[in-house]
Every structure is written in C-alpha cells, then in structure tokens.
Amino acid sequence: MFALTEEQQSLVEAARTAAQDILAPTVKEDDERELYRKELFQKLGAAGLCGVQTSEAYGGLGLGYVEYTLVLEEIAKVAPAYAVSVAVSGLPQVILALYGNEAQKQRWMPGLAAGELLGGFALSEPGSGSDAASLRTTARREGDFYVLDGTKFWITHGGYADIYVVMGRTGGPGASGVSAFLVPGDTPGLSFGKKEEKMGLRASPTVEMILEGARIPAENLLDREGAGFRVAMSALDSGRITIGATSVGIAQAALDVAASYACTRKQFDTPIIDFQGVGFMLADMACKVETSRLLVHKAAWLKDQGMVFSHIAAMAKCVSTDAAMAVTTDAVQVLGGYGYTREYPVERMMRDAKVMQIVEGTNQVQRVVIARHMRRTHGG
C-alpha cells in the first residue's frame, strides 16, 4: 500500500487530532506518575477509534486491519501507552468475532467497540510465558458454571477492564487441554495483586491477576473446550500487527523530534544535520521507519484478504520493534545531553520502545516462528 484512500486519510487525520486533543496534554505527567486514565480511553472510543476493525453490525467502523494500523500509529506518536490500551481492548473483539457465539457478540462487542467497555487478555503465568501451552490455571466444570483457579502475570488493564479473555486448563497437559473464557471484571473470586513498576509504558497498568474459585457461567466458554490455545495463538498473530503499528508510531515520533532538533541546533554556525555523523544517522533512522511501516501494512493487508499472514506478522513485529528501539536510542544520541533529560520526550520514547521487543512473544520467539515457516516451505 503506497497511497492512502480519501477515507483512510480522513481516518488518519481524525486519529491524529483526537490523540493530540485527548492524550497530549497529560502524557508527561501520566508517565511520571504511572497514571492510567480510563476516561481518556473512553474519549478515544467516543471518537470512533476503539472499534476500527469490528463489524458495523456490532458497533464498529467495519474497516480492516490496514486502517487499524493507521489509527494505532497516530495514537502511538503521542501516547504509546494508549495505543497499547486500544490494541489490548481490541483483542477480545478479534477473538469474539472469530470464536464467539451470537449471544456473546451481542453482549460484549458493542460496548468494547464504542470504548464504553475496556477489554483485557490473560494468558501468561509466573511459569508460562513463551511456553503458553504449559499454563497451570485450572477451569473445572461444576454444573452450569466453570470455576477458575490460578495466577496470571503481565495483565494489561488488570483491575480496570470490564471483560477479560482468560485461558485456563480444562483437560490434560499441553495445548489440547487449554480453553478460553470470558471473565467479567466484577466476577467474585477475581482479584488483582502486584502492579509492576516498569521502565516504560508507565501509564499502562500491568498487574497480577488472581483467580480463587472464580465462578463464571458455562456460557462464557469461547468456542469449545480444548480450543483455547488456538484462540490465544490467533489473537497473538493479530496482536503482533498492532504492536508493530505501535512501534512504527513510536519510531516516527522519535525521528520527527530528532530531525527537527538537528535542523535547528547549530555547532560551528552549521545545523548539525549537515554533519555527516548526524545526517547519516538520521537517514538510517528514516529507512528503518519506512521499511517497518511497509512490513506492518503488508501483514495487515494479508490479514484483511484472508490470506496466510502469521509469518509476515512475526516479521513485522520483529523488524518494527527492533527498529523502534534503534531509532529511539539514536534519537537520544542526536539530542546529546538534552536527549538524556526529561525536557525532551525521546528518553521516554526509548523506554517505551524497549518493551515492544518483549510483548506478544519476544523477538527471539518471532524468529522461531519465521524459521519454522521457512522449514515448512523449503524443507521439502
């Protein structure tokens, strides 16, 4: 995709304006105070930005993942924590669209798409990160209910979300024993523990989830027993595209700050961008941003076409997040001493970029996914 349609351009402009008006005024304060403002997320929803990819039949805009990535990039340029918030709340919508029954869709999707409800996703556990199939949270059937027991880690929106997609074990060991459930935020037996003190994305709450005899109706099972691992993996495939788009937004914002600074900052009566040491650095940063954006858009386009996209999503996530880390680090370098201070935003951008290489599967895991695809296609 090399040019935006008029509809896409209008969407980008709307997202840019909303991000500036809603998020920009408190970005610095929220980072310093580690403060998440749910009301800001709700305002993004009122602006039509929380259900871009969701069908109009369920309250969304009915657009594709390409448009979704465009919106997330604009939000991430201003406040990556809220781009992640929109993306994470989008995961239950993606999951419901693929695996939910009509009653589940009607109950939850309109509120999520409107930003009136906040969504969460709970897969990781203390001993189960990249090895998701080894999770130990249990879900046992008791009549018309399931009872969930266990602990989940790294839960974005923990304690804030209205509905979580939670993975629990209903069967034996391995992937085939995992099921997926819709767990409302006010479920008795659901509580939240430690809030993580993080390097970056400090305005995005990451919290421990505790399930102690949490009873949910059996009708909250997604798809069928044993389908949970497939549900989780398909969500992660889609989530890697959104993390890629968020990373592109972070990198673009850092590049913009660094390039503007280099054009105005003078040494020896010359703008520092005219010195090759700086100019070439900025050129390399621009190349990383553009290549990342194109790969993210390709992954999104493949998904929109109903084509195989998992390996390209892994590439997009891997390339864009590595690029975001490199570009933000170089932006700090371009600004010199100022880049290391909180007077300029590039130090925050660098901190925010780092976690992108870790979430939705570490970049080492992405390389495993890519290599396995190559093994299947080239191994004969």
Tell me, yes or no, whether 147 and 238 share the same domain: no
Residue 274 has pLDDT above 80, yes or no: yes
Q: Which domain covers residue 19, as residue numbers?
A: 6-117
Per-residue confidence band for 1, with pLDDT thresholds at 50, 70 and 90? low
Tell me, yes or no, whether 133 and 103 share the same domain: no
For residues 360 and 206, the answer to whether their CB atoms sit within 8 Å is: no
Tell me, yes or no, whether 113 and 125 share the same domain: no
Tens digits of residue pLDDT in 217-229:
999 999 999 999 9
3-state secondary structure the chain: CCCCCHHHHHHHHHHHHHHHHHHHHHHHHHHHHCCCCHHHHHHHHHCCCCCCCCCHHHCCCCCCHHHHHHHHHHHHHHCHHHHHHHHHHHHHHHHHHHHCCHHHHHHHHHHHHCCCCCEEEECCECCECCCHHHCCCEEEEECCEEEEEEEEEEEECCCCCCEEEEEEECCCCCHHHEEEEEEECCCCCEEEEEECCCCCCCCCCEEEEEEEEEEEEHHHEECCCCCHHHHHHHHHHHHHHHHHHHHHHHHHHHHHHHHHHHHHCEECCEEHHHCHHHHHHHHHHHHHHHHHHHHHHHHHHHHHCCCCCHHHHHHHHHHHHHHHHHHHHHHHHHHHHHHHCCCCCHHHHHHHHHHHCCCCCCHHHHHHHHHHHHHHHHCC
Residue 301 confidence (pLDDT): 97
Among 225, 244, 259, the domain boundary falls at 225
Mean pLDDT (whole number) for 14-41? 98
Per-residue confidence band for 379, with pLDDT thresholds at 50, 70 and 90? confident
Kindly state whether residue 140 falls inside one of the protein's structural domains. yes
Q: For the chain, what is the domain count? A: 3
Per-residue confidence band for 380, with pLDDT thresholds at 50, 70 and 90? low
Kindly state whether residue 308 falls inside one of the protein's structural domains. yes
The percentage of residues in the chain with a pLDDT greater than 90, rounded to a whole number, is 97
Residue 281 has, within 13 A of its CA and on its CB side, a CA count of: 22
143 by Cβ neighbours in 10 Å (0-12 / 13-18 / 19+) ranks as exposed
Tell me, yes or no, whether 219 and 312 share the same domain: no
- CATH number of residue 345's parent domain: 1.20.140.10
User: Cβ contacts of residue 223 below 8 Å, gap of 6+?
Assistant: 99, 180, 230, 231
Separation of alpha carbons 174 and 188, rounded Å? 28
Residue 2 confidence (pLDDT): 81
Among 225, 249, 282, the domain boundary falls at 225
Kindly state whether residue 108 falls inside one of the protein's structural domains. yes
Mean pLDDT (whole number) for 48-77? 97
Tell me, yes or no, whether 240 and 370 share the same domain: yes
Separation of alpha carbons 164 and 281, rounded Å? 43
Among 225, 249, 284, the domain boundary falls at 225
**Is position 34 annotated as part of the catalytic site?**
no
Tens digits of residue pLDDT in 280-305:
999 999 999 999 999 999 999 999 99
